[in-house]
Chains A and B, each alone.
Chain A
Amino acid sequence: MRRALAIALLLALAPAAHADRARWDTRALATVPPPGYPARAYVAPNHRIYEGTYDNPSGDTVPSRVFEYLPDGTLQRSWTIQGQDLSQAHGVQVATSDAKGRLVLLDKAPARVIKLDPRTGAQTTYATFADLPALPDQTPMADYGAWGPDGSLYVTDYQQAVIWRVPPGGGAAQVWLSDKKLDGGPFGTAGIALAADHRTLVISQGSEAGLAAANPTTGRIYTVAIGADGRPGPLNQLWESGPAEAPDGLAIAKSGRIYVALVSPVANQIVAVGPDGKEVDRSPATFDAPSSAAFLGNSLIVADQSYVNGDPSHMQILDVAVGEPGIAELIPGRKAKPHARKKARHKHRRHKRKRRQR
């Protein structure tokens, strides 16, 4: 009983603590150790923050790493990625996790999906991406990923103008959507998230360098529906960024607002876009290449990459107060929380008892 009261008290206090923080108030949770260059900071259902190290533009031969942080920024565990081609630009993003709590990593070299089991450290290749012959100058570069309701994994490609679908169970990724609007040249398709309706994917586009739009320098947010037959609907533009702002990772709030990291040095901001496609507001430009956004409580967890400046002290995981929570991530096959299961079991037993009594 005492513990229940303590938990209730903590829960009551938690929003108050958040309420004290002004919108866009930013705190550093952790500086990411070498090799640095953090990309997407993924917040798992257990509220741990997982951070992969992406490529060093100056080049290095150090394998990428994945770090596990507690919500307060304490470094808990870490893993070295196995089997990377260190002669190429290499890096991993923690895209999501699966029903068993394994992390789903997108690797640059080779272009593949790795599943990493935090309990054992075991790493297995879950999927691979092909170098599409139609785009001879560009190699695959899996950037962000999101689960679809049927267990397909949808993955953006920053260099090839496609969205991949990894079938349930893994294997070779298939081109799900190919569109000229996804051709951003060196600044291609980045963030992806499944909307609250669980049938619409929200996608960020770094630029339209492929000249599919009037202004090739501006980025965009697109939405695309996953049809009942699994096929993509039309690509709908929701919002257009300013010139050379390079929208990157994104997160969707319960309110329907979409928070997008603007990674370019021109912007260095987080922008909030309403469900109607109108810009709500922006953070101050205090970041150094913010590359992702993910909700943790009423905050966004943002990875500051310092990609251009290469300043190790700026390669941080940041807690940015936004005053609202995000939608829950859909992880196909994930069971309910243990206490919820317990409750259900208890209910089931009570039901059985009642039936016997009858």
Chain B
Amino acid sequence: MSDTTRRRFVAGALTTGAAAALPGAAEARTRKTRHNAKRRRTRTADVCVVGAGFAGLTAARDLANAGKSVVVLEARKVVGGRVQNHELGGGRVSERGGTFVGPTQDHVLDLAQQLGVDKFDTYDTGDNVYMADGRRSTYSDTGPTGTAPLDPTILPELALVVQQLDSMAGSVPVDAPWNASSAADWDGQTLETWIKNNSASPKFRRLVSLATRPIFGAEPRELSLLFVLFYIAASGNETNPGTFERNFDTRNGGQMWRLVGGSQQIALRIAQQLGRRVVLNSPVRRIVQKNGRVTVTSDRSTVTCKRVIVAIPPTLAGRIDYHPLMPPERDQLTQRYGQGTLTKVAAVYDKPFWRDQGLTGQAVSIDGLVSATFDDSPQDAGAGGDGVLFGFVGGDAARTYQRMSPQEGRDKVLGEFAGFFGEDARSPKDFFETRWTTEQWTRGCPVGIAGPGTLLAYGDQMRAPYGKIHWAGTETSTYWNGYMDGAVRSGQRAAQEVLDEL
């Protein structure tokens, strides 16, 4: 993030906060809305894209490259959506949101290459830490369980359940999970129900939350089994069927690489290419389809266009006012496809001290708030740069964390970090957190999730265009749904859909 951008971000946040705190704020807002309406700029374009996350920006880039005029309306003051860098100083960055890329994520990797954003290996030298029932152990992720813990008390169950899930996922079509031969059965139960019926040990069941919290920001009881199987099936590409291991693992899995300069670099560079086509601070309120044209109204612009790509999470898309109304099935889908509950916590140290202990910085824990950690240090950390540890706090743990005071939360997290990596972890030089549920223009992370019955009833509405409105966003992707690659894929797909019509 450039200094100018950062200053604008801070200034904007202060303004918003002040307006909300002042007496008579509602009146002030009304005056402001009137004022905004007067100064709202009217633009005409072939296509209007709603949302400047990876999906929206990719779509806009493809459309612009195809010679179409395009305007991107972004609610935030910055681009990137769920992918945001965090400045550490000295040009170094860590990430607040989407961080990793991995094998078979060809579309985001290709895009990064085209934009000159290199990748580097996630630090993965040494042992991982496993914390269960207050006992700490270490293991190598080169073993049979990969990133999952090598716990002899649950190893047979782990192997069996993963094998079963992978096998069931193999029969789930990534483009239409509701068409799987067992779709009705699987969408009629939660992952928790299935786990209870297919495992014996309570300890193993606790381990399942360890996976669902970072992956979905949810507990197993919140997730449709069919949705989970789809997510596993989607952890691959057209020539490599998805597996749980590829999703969960660092080595040869979805967390294998990081991007130089932080993952937001991709969004920043596309936005740079698009220039004035991207309008920030411009939340879209209304989309009207009339007389063969579409009018998109945001707080700053009114765009008249031939087609619209809505590239935001389903739950946010459902908060836009559509005229005519969205089809009821699509509307119902957006009411049911809520975002996960995830907070990302990070501590910055003078150096990645855990590396000296032969540790990767990766920990998994079935105790406490933090279920998984990673070494998110800048690429030059080994040569004396800052060391960054981040942790995922998801599902029930995130809900508990949200109720804590900032100090209480920080102390608890750092205490857990210390349990994983030693007392040095208790005294970082900086600590930052991103409570994605409180982000107005995301409302949760990492992805929209489906409880029982949703995919079967409304899944086919996820990508189905409505008149001249097309849908993008990682939730609409067939592969790597919920990941940056899925977002890029969805943007490319939506752009192609639109190009076919123009």
Residues of A within 8 A of B (CB): 3, 28-31, 33-35, 60-63, 65, 67, 69-70, 73-78, 80, 118-119, 121, 312-313, 316
8 Å CB interface, B58-80 against A = 67
CB distance from A6 to the nearest CB of B (A): 10
- Which residue on chain A has the smallest CB distance to residue B236? A31
Can you show 16 pairs from A to B with CB atoms below 8 A apart? A3-B67, A31-B239, A31-B241, A33-B175, A33-B176, A35-B173, A60-B181, A62-B180, A73-B238, A74-B107, A75-B174, A75-B175, A77-B175, A77-B493, A119-B501, A316-B239
Complex-state Cα separation, A94 to B460, whole angstroms: 22
**B492–A67 CB distance below 8 A:** no
Q: Interface size on B (CB < 8 Å)?
A: 28
Complex-state Cα separation, A113 to B239, whole angstroms: 30
Q: B residues within 8 A CB of A312?
A: 170, 241
Complex-state Cα separation, A265 to B500, whole angstroms: 40
**B173–A74 CB distance below 8 A:** no
**A75–B170 CB distance below 8 A:** no
CB distance from B488 to the nearest CB of A (A): 11
8 Å CB interface, B259-284 against A = none
**B173–A65 CB distance below 8 A:** yes
With beta carbons under 8 angstroms apart, the residue of B175, B180, B464, B478 that contacts A121 is B464
**Majority SS at the chain A contact face:** mixed
Known: A73-B239, A75-B238, A75-B479. A67 touches B175 (CB 8 A): yes
Complex-state Cα separation, A74 to B485, whole angstroms: 13
Q: Is B336 an interface residue (CB 8 A)?
A: no
With beta carbons under 8 angstroms apart, the residue of B180, B239, B464 that contacts A28 is B239
CB distance from B426 to the nearest CB of A (A): 47
Complex-state Cα separation, A73 to B463, whole angstroms: 19
**B500–A119 CB distance below 8 A:** yes
Complex-state Cα separation, A61 to B183, whole angstroms: 12
Q: A residues within 8 A CB of B239?
A: 28-31, 73, 316
Q: Is B350 an interface residue (CB 8 A)?
A: no
Complex-state Cα separation, A279 to B183, whole angstroms: 48
Complex-state Cα separation, A3 to B67, whole angstroms: 10
Q: Is B332 an interface residue (CB 8 A)?
A: no
Complex-state Cα separation, A118 to B489, whole angstroms: 19
**A75–B241 CB distance below 8 A:** no
Q: B residues within 8 A CB of A80?
A: 176, 179, 460
Q: A residues within 8 A CB of B179?
A: 34-35, 62-63, 65, 80
- Which residue on chain B has the smallest CB distance to residue A312? B170
**B174–A33 CB distance below 8 A:** yes
Known: A31-B238, A62-B180, A312-B241. A74 touches B492 (CB 8 A): yes
Q: Is B172 an interface residue (CB 8 A)?
A: yes
**A76–B171 CB distance below 8 A:** no
CB distance from B235 to the nearest CB of A (A): 14
Q: B residues within 8 A CB of A121?
A: 464
Q: B residues within 8 A CB of A31?
A: 238-241
Q: Is B145 an interface residue (CB 8 A)?
A: no
Complex-state Cα separation, A197 to B463, whole angstroms: 42
CB distance from B448 to the nearest CB of A (A): 20
Complex-state Cα separation, A77 to B239, whole angstroms: 16
Q: Is B496 an interface residue (CB 8 A)?
A: yes
CB distance from B37 to the nearest CB of A (A): 36
Q: Is B439 an interface residue (CB 8 A)?
A: no
Q: A34-B172, A74-B238, A75-B478 are in contact. List 17 more A-B contacts (CB 8 A).
A: A3-B67, A28-B239, A30-B239, A31-B240, A34-B170, A34-B179, A62-B181, A65-B175, A65-B176, A65-B179, A75-B479, A77-B493, A118-B500, A119-B500, A121-B464, A313-B241, A316-B239
CB distance from B237 to the nearest CB of A (A): 9
Q: A residues within 8 A CB of B176?
A: 33, 65, 78, 80
CB distance from A163 to the nearest CB of B (A): 33
**B175–A74 CB distance below 8 A:** no
CB distance from A99 to the nearest CB of B (A): 16
Q: Is B497 an interface residue (CB 8 A)?
A: yes
CB distance from A84 to the nearest CB of B (A): 12
**A78–B175 CB distance below 8 A:** yes
Q: A residues within 8 A CB of B171?
A: 34
With beta carbons under 8 angstroms apart, the residue of A33, A61, A74 that contacts B181 is A61
CB distance from B473 to the nearest CB of A (A): 16
Q: A residues within 8 A CB of B492?
A: 74
**B170–A30 CB distance below 8 A:** no
CB distance from B4 to the nearest CB of A (A): 30
8 Å CB interface, B105-146 against A = 107
CB distance from B129 to the nearest CB of A (A): 35
Complex-state Cα separation, A77 to B476, whole angstroms: 11
- Which residue on chain A has the smallest CB distance to residue B65? A3
Complex-state Cα separation, A211 to B179, whole angstroms: 42
Complex-state Cα separation, A60 to B181, whole angstroms: 8
8 Å CB interface, B6-61 against A = none
CB distance from B452 to the nearest CB of A (A): 20
- Which residue on chain A has the smallest CB distance to residue B464? A121
Complex-state Cα separation, A316 to B237, whole angstroms: 13
- Which residue on chain A has the smallest CB distance to residue B180? A34
Q: B residues within 8 A CB of A3?
A: 67
Q: B residues within 8 A CB of A28?
A: 239
Q: B residues within 8 A CB of A67?
A: 175
